[in-house]
Amino acid sequence: MAARLNTSLHNALSLLNPFNTPLNTKPFYSRNTFRFSQKLQSLSGKRALYCTSSSLGTVPENGVDGAETFVLTTPLYYVNAPPHMGSAYTTIAADSIARFQRLLGKKVIFITGTDEHGEKIATSAAANGRNPAEHCDLISQSYRSLWKDLDIAYDKFIRTTDPKHEAIVKEFYARVFANGDIYRADYEGLYCVNCEEYKDEKELLENNCCPVHQAPCVARKEDNYFFALSKYQKPLEDILSQNPRFVQPSYRLNEVQSWIKSGLRDFSISRALVDWGIPVPDDDKQTIYVWFDALLGYISALTEDNEQQNLETALSLGWPASLHLIGKDILRFHAVYWPAMLMSAGLSLPKMVFGHGFLTKDGMKMGKSLGNTLEPFELVQKFGPDAVRYFFLREVEFGNDGDYSEDRFIKIVNAHLANTIGNLLNRTLGLLKKNCESTLVVDSTIAAEGVPLKDTVEKLVEKARTNYESLSLSSACEAVLEIGNAGNTYMDQRAPWFLFKQGGVSAEAAAKDLVIILEVMRIIAVALSPVAPCLSLRIYSQLGYSLDQFNSITWNDTKWGGLKGGQVMEQASPVYARIELNPEKEEEEKKKPKVGKKTGKAKVKVEQTPTVAEAA
Ligand code: MSP
């Protein structure tokens, strides 16, 4: 058995290609250039909508033959209840990362889905008076509709009740079994149904309460199949010390290393008391434990429905994943259990696991089990997808926890999207219409000759790119907003409305200034498109571009020089309507100083378009 283990470890480690190269010299996604098979190239025409708003339609495929692959996953969400804002958070972040990677020209496979088996789901189906299958269909569909509302452009949606998934779980189980890592034994312990996990007594609160769900764990005794996790203690230690970037952010690595150091215990991978699950091969009295089932969704998702459903085919279509994006509560499953399972089956490991923080309400994790959730459907309906996406990505440092407040939401969105970005575009287009018949007088490259703003914008674009690459999504948003601030400062300093009035050379200079500011707007639209795709499209359309042109943008389009002389701009209309506070709040706001007030890192500009001087 030792020899077998060594072979399978060797396979896993040698397949862990990215970690054989220096980790801190290149961005993580480019370390393992994976070439797409012809088969996958031809399937890619079925890719998801990039922006699901009716106004946006579909985007043609922009990956080039042989493009590097970037496979990223969200967790597969439990269908015990419809999605809440916490579930939406991971998916929004994943979608922005996927969109950014597509802009870089990568062939992206963005995987999401639902986790539908196990006791927790069966119980909630029964509580709702439904049979489990019917319940899963309903809730899984509610995830899909939320993703549509939020403009989530996933490529694959896997349900753990899909027959193709079951086939792959069974094959994987058989591999692990053949490697001698599954055995049968009795187990007695305290079980948290919400976590679907046996807990160590020392990690529980008073009355054996689970610290995450604040509900008592139940004593269980079962005759189960076990996975020999303890065998993988040393290999896991080695992997983490050789490849510290495997777990991100770096502060989560310490947590994982200390779990491993404190000793890994084998865990049970079947349930005798749960019917709603995939039967254990050769023992239909037991079902496979939800985590030993759901994690395989990251692989089964890669297959197409009309293809042969086996592990080898699935793996050839995009494994290993470049990035598993998860919340910190399920880090142990992804950074300890999953790599050990993969090693046991002789498969390569994902390149990175990123554990983000929680959205909290009053300091407590927002969640279905605690019932303290924020309703994402309502939020999107009220404020639109761009505002929701932008707020959570900008406001919460990716990796840390973040609290939601409606006040803060409105302030940020109004200040950044409606004022700094929307208002600047509106003012500029208004002046262009009034003075230049909505037509650019010269190419933006010529207009910017000797203008320092161009260098400033180029530096900020680079800052945004490096932040997107390192998953510092809030800082990426901040860099884009700084471009907007620089554009506003330029507008205020140059005062083109005044120059137009002076006529002659001054008016010619003013016309060039407008080209410069509109070029800034164009660059903002490209750089912000991973986070706020519909807003970016609206900006692009007002700059006179078609939907097809927007759909074929790449990160290269952040280079200065896109706008050309003679290009005709559209009529100005607000790209993001300012959210009005309720009258009481408005009154409170009025009492506060209006200009230059800081909300976090951004300035609030309360005045709306156009300013008095511009309108005159
Ligand atoms: N089904 C498992 C995952 C299996 S992956 C093979 C699961 N599902 S879950 O629905 O409970 O959680 C899914 C994800 O949502 C997790 O990453 C979790 O951290 C995230 N969130 C749930 N509540 C959250 C917040 N309040 N804030 C941020 N993310 C949160 O675990």
Q: What CA–CA distance (Å, rounded) separates 614 from 45?
A: 48
In the predicted model, is pLDDT for residue 593 greater than 60?
A: no
In the predicted model, is pLDDT for residue 357 greater than 50?
A: yes
C-alpha of residue 212 to centroid of ligand 1, in Å: 12
- How many angstroms separate the Cα of 517 from the Cα of each of 3, 419, 541, 609? 66, 15, 16, 15
User: Whose CA is closest to 169, among 326, 321, 3, 296?
Assistant: 296
Residues 6+ away with beta carbon under 8 Å from 144: 157
Phi, psi of 592 (to 5 degrees): -90, 155
Q: Name which residue sits closest to atom 18 of ligand 1, judged by CA.
A: 327
C-alpha of residue 307 to centroid of ligand 1, in Å: 30
C-alpha of residue 368 to centroid of ligand 1, in Å: 10
Instruction: Name the 3-class secondary structure at 409.
Output: helix
Tell me which DSSP letter residue 422 carries.
I
C-alpha of residue 75 to centroid of ligand 1, in Å: 7
Q: Among the atoms of ligand 1, which is closest to the Cα of residue 115?
A: 1
The larger pLDDT score, comparing residue 286 to residue 608, is at 286
Which residue type does 142 have? S
Q: What percent of the chain has pLDDT over 90?
A: 71
Q: Among the atoms of ligand 1, which is closest to the Cα of residue 77?
A: 10
Query: Residue 459 has which token pair?
Result: 């530096």
Q: What CA–CA distance (Å, rounded) separates 403 from 384?
A: 20
Q: Among the atoms of ligand 1, which is closest to the Cα of residue 295?
A: 6
- How many angstroms separate the Cα of 119 from the Cα of each of 191, 196, 301, 344, 582? 11, 8, 23, 26, 44
Pocket probe for ligand 1: among 76, 329, 353, 401, the residue whose CB has the most ligand atoms within 8 Å is 329
What is the chain's alpha carbon radius of gyration, rounded to the nearest angstrom? 26
Residues 6+ away with beta carbon under 8 Å from 123: 80, 193
Q: Among the atoms of ligand 1, which is closest to the Cα of residue 368?
A: 23
Residue 614 binned pLDDT confidence (cut-offs 50, 70, 90): low
- The binding-site residues of ligand 1, defined as CB within 6 angstroms of any ligand atom, are 75-78, 86-87, 89-90, 115, 294-295, 297, 326-327, 329-330, 358-359, 365-367
Q: Is 216 exposed, middle or buried (0-12, 13-18, 19+ CB in 10 A)?
A: middle
Mean pLDDT over residues 318-345, rounded? Answer: 97
Pocket probe for ligand 1: among 115, 192, 395, the residue whose CB has the most ligand atoms within 8 Å is 115
Identify the H or E element spanning 316. helix 311-316
| pTM for the full predicted model | 0.85
In this predicted structure, what is the pLDDT of residue 309? Answer: 79
In this predicted structure, what is the pLDDT of residue 580? Answer: 84
- How many angstroms separate the Cα of 53 from the Cα of each of 56, 57, 58, 190, 534? 5, 7, 10, 46, 8
Q: Phi-psi bin for 154: left (phi > 0), alpha (psi -120 to 50), beta?
A: beta
C-alpha of residue 89 to centroid of ligand 1, in Å: 9
pLDDT tens per residue across span 528-557: 999 999 999 999 999 999 999 999 999 999
C-alpha of residue 326 to centroid of ligand 1, in Å: 7
Q: What CA–CA distance (Å, rounded) separates 229 from 256?
A: 14
C-alpha of residue 138 to centroid of ligand 1, in Å: 19
What pairs with residue 279 in β-bridges?
287
Phi, psi of 608 (to 5 degrees): -105, 170
Q: Are 554 and 59 in contact, with CB atoms under 8 Å apart?
A: no
Mean pLDDT over residues 346-361, rounded? Answer: 95
Q: Among the atoms of ligand 1, which is closest to the Cα of residue 294?
A: 6
Which region among 27-31, 106-110, 160-164, 570-574 has the lowest average model confidence (pLDDT)? Answer: 27-31
Q: What CA–CA distance (Å, rounded) separates 80 from 366?
A: 15
In this predicted structure, what is the pLDDT of residue 601? Answer: 31
Mean pLDDT over residues 66-91, rounded? Answer: 94
Q: What CA–CA distance (Å, rounded) separates 412 from 543?
A: 25
Q: Are 69 and 169 in contact, with CB atoms under 8 Å apart?
A: no
Residue 66 binned pLDDT confidence (cut-offs 50, 70, 90): confident
Query: Residue 259 has which token pair?
Result: 């779990």
| Cα–Cα–Cα angle for 580, 600, 27, rounded to 5 degrees | 115
C-alpha of residue 328 to centroid of ligand 1, in Å: 9
Give DSSP secondary structure letters for 522-586.
Answer: HHHHHHHTTT-HHHHHHHHHHTT--HHHHHT--GGGGSS----TTPBPPPP--SSPPPPPPHHHH
C-alpha of residue 327 to centroid of ligand 1, in Å: 6
In this predicted structure, what is the pLDDT of residue 33? Answer: 24
Identify the H or E element spanning 225. strand 218-227
Query: Residue 304 has which token pair?
Result: 């197409």
Mean pLDDT over residues 225-241, rounded? Answer: 97
Pocket probe for ligand 1: among 84, 90, 379, 388, the residue whose CB has the most ligand atoms within 8 Å is 90
C-alpha of residue 296 to centroid of ligand 1, in Å: 16
Q: Are 394 and 474 in contact, with CB atoms under 8 Å apart?
A: yes
Residues 6+ away with beta carbon under 8 Å from 583: none
Q: Is 377 exposed, middle or buried (0-12, 13-18, 19+ CB in 10 A)?
A: middle
pLDDT tens per residue across span 200-223: 888 888 888 988 778 889 888 878
C-alpha of residue 515 to centroid of ligand 1, in Å: 46
What pairs with residue 226 in β-bridges?
183, 268
C-alpha of residue 130 to centroid of ligand 1, in Å: 23
Phi, psi of 557 (to 5 degrees): -75, 0
Q: Name which residue sits closest to atom 5 of ligand 1, judged by CA.
A: 75
Q: What CA–CA distance (Å, rounded) separates 515 from 138?
A: 51
Mean pLDDT over residues 115-134, rounded? Answer: 96
Residue 506 binned pLDDT confidence (cut-offs 50, 70, 90): very high
In the predicted model, is pLDDT for residue 598 greater than 60?
A: no
Query: Residue 286 has which token pair?
Result: 């037991």
Which residue type does 376 have? P
**Whole-number average pLDDT of the chain:** 85
Residues 6+ away with beta carbon under 8 Å from 6: none
Pocket probe for ligand 1: among 330, 373, 404, the residue whose CB has the most ligand atoms within 8 Å is 330
Q: Name which residue sits closest to atom 25 of ligand 1, judged by CA.
A: 86
Q: Name which residue sits closest to atom 12 of ligand 1, judged by CA.
A: 77
Rounded to an integer, what is the distance from CA 597 to the centroid of its chain? 31
In this predicted structure, what is the pLDDT of residue 577? Answer: 87
Q: Where are the alpha helices (DSSP H) in 158-282?
A: 163-178, 233-242, 250-261
Q: What percent of the chain has pLDDT over 70?
A: 83
Q: Are 322 and 28 in contact, with CB atoms under 8 Å apart?
A: yes
Residues 94/95/100/102 CA torsion (nearest 10 deg): 110
Q: Are 117 and 161 in contact, with CB atoms under 8 Å apart?
A: yes
Kindly give the pairing relationship between strand 247-248 and strand 267-268.
Answer: unpaired
Q: Are 461 and 523 in contact, with CB atoms under 8 Å apart?
A: yes
Q: Is 102 exposed, middle or buried (0-12, 13-18, 19+ CB in 10 A)?
A: buried
Pocket probe for ligand 1: among 73, 77, 159, 291, the residue whose CB has the most ligand atoms within 8 Å is 77
Instruction: Name the 3-class secondary structure at 428.
Output: helix
